[in-house]
């Protein structure tokens, strides 16, 4: 087993990895930017090194600085968390060249799945259903439009390098295609430094269903069930639950088998996620693979009783999976709410600032993954995720009731959050019924916000 792991990340996920390491008796080394000197991951790690200024490009994305620390501190492995360098093939390669284990798949696998257009092609070859769309990337707007015309509208323009819901545009008619294509491409160039685009048919009002995969070096590939991430704002997840209410046991088995086939086709090793959209008729389509630990991994941990980060570390150390497919039993229901420092009443403007007061929920079946504390200054340099509230209960309805009361216990003072909005979602009849699709939140946002404002007026 590894002796010392460097955690190339910050915030709640850095803490999450630290916790797994400590429980495994592995030393930890944190890296941080000048903006994060007061961060909890710096406090809790065995040792911590500053790797540059606040801007992520100069610190958390600074491969040379991070590798220099890893070598100087005698680390034998690096955990990249999510975001930052987690899906950076050059970084995975560089770790390997230095003889440091990258806790994730190889650079080659990241390359082949990181380009979403080529991942689609690979899945098609492996017999995994993909959304009808372009054969690979489209070279320019005019050619793309011809392809869109032949696929038939509505279509979705997507960035091959995309992530976090960016570089995507829905197109409902031929007339608006060219301008939306240019918009999506400009966004992709700005966010990902690549203008490579591809097309998919827009599946109308689908669910986002994803499967957690674990694969080791010994040929074992299993899935740990599904997560329903249909509560999204502009293609970004806000609330996730496991298991999905939309899947029958048969469909779950079918999609799980497709996810395992997808991971095998990719030659995958470590933890990963196969994302699908599921239409109203029970047809499912691969949309992408995330070759890293996912933000919403805790709900899978709750329903399967597995520590996914521990599994990641064991896999990278060459150990076999500690469970088989038959061992995976989905127990009860779990929900995660992402508490973001953003103002829903103001177009979800990020509003980081000083955490004047914090009270986190607790009690039976409640888990909080967060790096916040009273007095902590949330930095504007990084994403606005402030805390993840996770609940587990025997049934879905009990989990919903538990999450409502957990959110009622949460107090964050100093900046706006989406907590009230999440609380309202948990009372919405469509959510309670379990019938929400990816269009739900954008469609219901106005009424959800007006209710939450009424709610806060009543309290005053
Ligand atoms: P998930 O929530 O399913 O894990 P997301 O796509 O929402 O996946 O991304 C998780 C985190 O990674 C977010 O903090 C997001 O900002 C970040 N992220 C996603 N894609 C990229 C990327 N290409 N480059 C840098 N950060 C990314
Ligand atoms: P990202 O890398 O940004 O996470 P994804 O390909 O996973 O991009 O898509 C993000 C979200 O966009 C999905 O969760 C889903 O809600 C929606 N989406 C993606 N592809 C399609 C599609 N072909 N039809 C309908 N919705 C889609
Ligand atoms: Mg995705």
- pLDDT tens sequence for the chain (460 residues): 999 999 999 999 999 999 999 999 999 999 999 999 999 999 999 999 999 999 999 999 999 999 999 999 999 999 999 999 999 999 999 999 999 999 999 999 999 999 999 999 999 999 999 999 999 999 999 999 999 999 999 999 999 999 988 999 999 999 999 999 999 999 999 999 999 999 999 999 999 999 999 999 999 999 999 999 999 999 999 999 999 999 999 999 999 999 999 999 999 999 999 999 999 999 999 999 999 999 999 999 999 999 999 999 999 999 999 999 999 999 999 999 999 999 999 999 999 999 999 999 999 999 999 999 999 999 999 999 999 999 999 999 999 999 999 999 999 999 999 999 999 999 999 999 999 999 999 999 999 999 875 444 444 3
Q: Which atom of ligand 2 is nearest to the CA of 164?
A: 3
For residue 200, which phi and psi values (nearest 5 degrees)?
-135, 150
- Binding pocket residue ranges, ligand 2, CB within 6 Å: 131, 156, 162-165, 200, 202-203, 206, 208, 232, 235, 275, 277, 287-288, 438
Residue 412's H or E segment, with its range, is strand 411-413
Nearest-atom index, ligand 2, CA of 166: 3
48 alpha carbon – ligand 3 mean position (Å): 32
Among all bound ligands, the one having the nearest atom to the CA of 87 is 1
> Ligand 3 centre and the CA of 76: distance in Å?
30
292 given a catalytic annotation: yes
Task: Please report, for the chain, the start and end positions of each structural domain, with discontinuous segments joined by +.
Answer: 4-103, 141-201, 207-458
CATH, domain range 207-458:
3.30.470.20
Helix (H) or strand (E) holding 314: helix 308-316
The answer for residues whose C-beta is within 8 angstroms of residue 456's C-beta and 6 or more apart is 420
141-201 fold: Dna Ligase; domain 1 (3.30.1490)
- pLDDT for res 453: 58
> What dihedral do alpha carbons 20, 23, 28, 31 form, nearest 10°?
30
Say how many Å lie between the CA of residue 110 and the centre of ligand 1.
15
CATH code at 4-103 = 3.40.50.20
Of 181, 151, 154, the closest CA to residue 169 belongs to: 181
Name the closest-CA residue to atom 2, ligand 1.
Answer: 295
CB of 115 closer than 6 A to ligand 1? no
For residue 4, report the distance from its CA to the centre of ligand 3, in Å.
31
Task: Give pLDDT, residue 452.
Answer: 72
119-133 in b/e burial notation, b at 16+ Cβ within 10 A? bbbbbeebebebbeb
Which residue of the set 292, 314, 338, 402 is catalytic?
292
pTM over 0.85: yes
Closest ligand relative to 278 C-alpha: 2
Ligand with minimal distance to 299 CA: 1
């Amino acid at each position: 087993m590894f002796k010392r792991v460097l955690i190339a990340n910050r915030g709640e996920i850095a803490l999450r990895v630290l916790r797994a390491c400590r429980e495994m008796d592995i030393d930890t080394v944190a890296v941080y930017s000048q903006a994060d000197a007061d961060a909890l991951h710096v406090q809790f790690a065995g040792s911590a090194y500053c790797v540059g200024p606040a801007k992520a490009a100069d610190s958390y994305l600074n491969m040379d600085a991070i590798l220099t620390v890893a070598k100087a501190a005698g680390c034998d492995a690096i955990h990249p968390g999510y975001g930052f360098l987690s899906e950076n093939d050059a970084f995975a390669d560089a770790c390997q060249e230095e003889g440091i284990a990258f806790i994730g798949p190889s650079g080659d696998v990241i390359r082949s799945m990181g380009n979403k257009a080529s991942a689609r092609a690979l899945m098609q070859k492996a017999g995994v259903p993909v959304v009808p769309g372009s054969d690979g990337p489209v070279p320019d707007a005019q050619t793309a439009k011809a392809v869109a015309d032949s696929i038939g509208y509505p279509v979705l323009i997507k960035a091959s390098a995309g992530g976090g819901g960016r570089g995507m545009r829905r197109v409902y008619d031929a007339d608006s295609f060219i301008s939306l294509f240019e918009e999506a491409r400009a966004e992709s160039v700005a966010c990902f430094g690549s203008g490579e685009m591809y097309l998919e048919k827009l599946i109308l009002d689908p669910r986002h269903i994803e499967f957690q995969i674990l694969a080791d070096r010994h040929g074992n590939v299993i899935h740990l069930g599904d997560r329903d991430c249909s509560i999204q704002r502009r293609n970004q997840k806000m609330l996730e639950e496991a298991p999905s209410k939309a899947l029958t046991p048969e469909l779950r088995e079918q999609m799980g088998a497709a996810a395992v086939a997808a991971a095998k086709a990719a030659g995958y090793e470590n933890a990963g996620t196969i994302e699908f959209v599921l239409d109203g008729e029970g047809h499912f389509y691969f949309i992408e693979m995330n070759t890293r630990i996912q933000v919403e991994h805790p709900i899978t941990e709750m329903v399967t009783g597995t520590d996914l980060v521990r599994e990641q570390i064991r896999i990278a150390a060459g150990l076999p999976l500690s469970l088989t497919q038959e061992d995976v039993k989905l127990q009860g229901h779990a929900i995660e709410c992402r508490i973001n420092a953003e103002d829903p009443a103001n177009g979800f403007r990020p509003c980081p600032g000083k955490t004047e007061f914090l009270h986190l929920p607790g009690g039976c079946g409640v888990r909080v993954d967060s790096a916040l504390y009273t007095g902590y200054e949330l930095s504007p340099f990084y994403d606005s995720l402030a805390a993840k509230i996770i609940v587990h209960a025997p049934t879905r309805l009990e989990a919903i009731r538990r999450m409502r009361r957990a959110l009622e216990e949460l107090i964050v003072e100093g900046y706006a959050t989406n907590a009230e909005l999440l609380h309202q979602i948990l009372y919405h009849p469509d959510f309670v019924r379990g019938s929400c699709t990816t269009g739900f939140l954008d469609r219901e946002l106005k009424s959800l916000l007006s209710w939450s404002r009424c709610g806060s007026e009543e309290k005053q």
